[in-house]
Amino acid sequence: MAHRSDGCAGCLHGGSRYLHCQCCPSSHCRRDLGASTSQGTWVLTSYLVSNAIILPVGAWASSVIGRKNFFLLCITIFTAASFLCGIAPTLPILLLARVLQGVGGGGLQPMAQAIMADSFEPKKRGQAFALYGLVAVLAPSLGPTIGGWITDNYSWRWIFYINLPVGILAFFLVSRLVQDPPWIKADRSNLKKLDYIGLGLLTVAMAGMQIMLDKGEENDWFASNLILTCGLLFVAGMAGLIWWQWRAKNPIMNLRLFKYKNFAICCLLMILVGGVLNAATVLEPQFLQQLMGYTATRAGEALAGGGVALLVIMPLAGVATGKFPARNMAAFGFACFAGAFYYTSTHFTLTMTFGFASWLRILQMFAIPFAFIAITNAAYVGLPKEASNQVSGIINFVRNVGGSIFIAATGAIVTNRSLFHQAHLQEYMQPGNPAFVSRINALTSYFGGSGKGPGPGFMARAEIYQELNQQAAAMAYQDIYRLLCWMAMGMIACAFILSKNKPGQGAPKGEAMH
């Protein structure tokens, strides 16, 4: 089953989700704390639920205590919770610490993005978002490698301890260098204006969604009463949330921003970008470990090349954002996505080398800067500057939701397509097939001469069946990359629905102003 690693290793793993494996500390801490596999997955789910709930709350919290103070509070909570995770003696205490860590982590991304949006004029905003995007998408590439190395050579607890010096340094720098803009004023009276009904509906919806997605595969999805209940809670909670947010006087999520065409389209595109990025980050290491026998650390190393490529491409994409319209940049990024995924679908085989796997990752990462920066930048164009906190909260919220949904969906599709290909390939395992007979005879001769096992014929058939399962799984991964290719092509068309703006200037032509 695929699981999210957001905060699983804190800053190391950023916003990605990937296979529940040795590079994920939950498997190590599960053994250390004497928990079952099912119980261990709550180490991930508990963080995700609280993180998703807090993401849209930043705008309200900033109106109460100021954005800088809220940012510092989130850093403090995240850092302290990381320490508590590291020293946790039992699973219940670890889960509680993870909830607190999710609360702190949920405010970091949107506030950092909003601060950057307000600190730079439009013509330089693309370069600023390039630096922000570098961190946001580099972490999923390097997290599995660094996290796997730490847990394999030291202890899962150091995955959390490593956040302490980073958090302390961030607190010091933010307190000294960051200031709230004039239009953001702390008002304690806003404490009474919290949208409690909206927060409650958001909590129900996100808890239902995350538990359903994280636990769905191991519980056979809707055949389980737990997953069915969580699915109903998600649908009911989300429907109620949307209805209430349009009516509320002080909504926790200002859905009226969706009246701005560019913002609405950017949210749709960001769901897909978050989903594609996280799905691609899961699929390759999962393939390398399950089918090619790579260790978790080795599989993580195969992703590292993509991170190096980002270091080079991200600044260039930031400069290009100031020279080309956002929709052109986004369309170019999605075209690169489509090409990379198509190429991957035709070359993703059981015989590929480590170097070639790294090359495929570089191809997939090449598109990220252009799409990510363009969409993030375009989301703010034409909106009042007072809405920056809401914009950043919602755009990060939909990106995380997209990642969660795509990880679960692609995992389920791989499983189903593997069964489909397995049934199809079994049709060729018949005595009348010369290739099958030749393979059986060769393996029977091999096992007969090796002195192994109870019967050479039985072992030969078992070997062929294992090869069949591997081939079927490999074909399923090729199918999912083809599906991602088609989705990327659809995203190209969506990108051109964006209004054409002049790079580095204000609202695009035809953008609604309210």
Q: Are 92 and 34 in contact (CB under 8 A)?
A: no
The amino acid that residue 427 corresponds to is E
pLDDT value at residue 68: 83
pLDDT value at residue 30: 54
* Overall average pLDDT of the 167-183 stretch: 83
Token couple for 168? 């302390």
pLDDT value at residue 440: 65
Ranked by mean pLDDT, the top range of 143-147, 391-395, 478-482 is 478-482
pLDDT value at residue 281: 78
Ranked by mean pLDDT, the top range of 6-20, 139-153, 202-216, 385-399 is 202-216
Q: Is 413 exposed, middle or buried (0-12, 13-18, 19+ CB in 10 A)?
A: middle
CA distances from 368 to 36, 87, 376 (A): 37, 37, 12
- Per-residue H/E/C for 364-408: HHHCHHHHHHHHHHHHHCCCCHHHHHHHHHHHHHHHHHHHHHHHH
- Sequence-ordered list of residues with C-beta below 8 angstroms from that of 128, at least 6 positions apart, any chain: 116, 117, 119, 120, 318
Q: At 136, which helix (H) or strand (E)?
A: helix 122-153
CA-closest candidate to residue 210, choices 226, 194, 186: 226
pLDDT value at residue 514: 39
Residue in this structure with the two tokens 């018949």, named with its chain if needed? 430
pLDDT value at residue 52: 78
Say yes or no to pLDDT of 390 above 50. yes
Regarding pTM above 0.85, the answer is no
Say yes or no to pLDDT of 425 above 80. no
Q: Are 404 and 129 in contact (CB under 8 A)?
A: no
* Overall average pLDDT of the 9-27 stretch: 39
CA-closest candidate to residue 456, choices 464, 468, 447, 465: 447
Say yes or no to pLDDT of 16 above 60. no
Q: What single string gives the DSSP state of each residue in 79-129?
A: HHHHHHHHH--SHHHHHHHHHHHHHHHHHHHHHHHHHHHHHS-HHHHHHHH
**Rg, Å, the chain Cα set:** 24
Tens of pLDDT, residues 225-242: 888 998 899 899 889 888
Say yes or no to pLDDT of 91 above 60. yes
pLDDT value at residue 116: 74
Token couple for 72? 């510092």
Q: Are 252 and 56 in contact (CB under 8 A)?
A: yes
Say yes or no to pLDDT of 389 above 50. yes
Tens of pLDDT, residues 352-373: 888 898 898 888 888 888 888 8
Tens of pLDDT, residues 123-168: 666 667 666 666 666 666 666 667 767 766 777 788 888 889 988 9
* Overall average pLDDT of the 55-59 stretch: 77
pLDDT value at residue 509: 42
| 321 or 451, higher pLDDT | 321
Query: 29-38, 71-80, 409-418: which has the minimum mean pLDDT?
Result: 29-38
Query: 5-9, 220-224, 333-337: which has the minimum mean pLDDT?
Result: 5-9
* Portion of the chain with pLDDT greater than 70, in percent: 75
Say yes or no to pLDDT of 393 above 70. yes
| 165 or 53, higher pLDDT | 165
pLDDT value at residue 502: 63
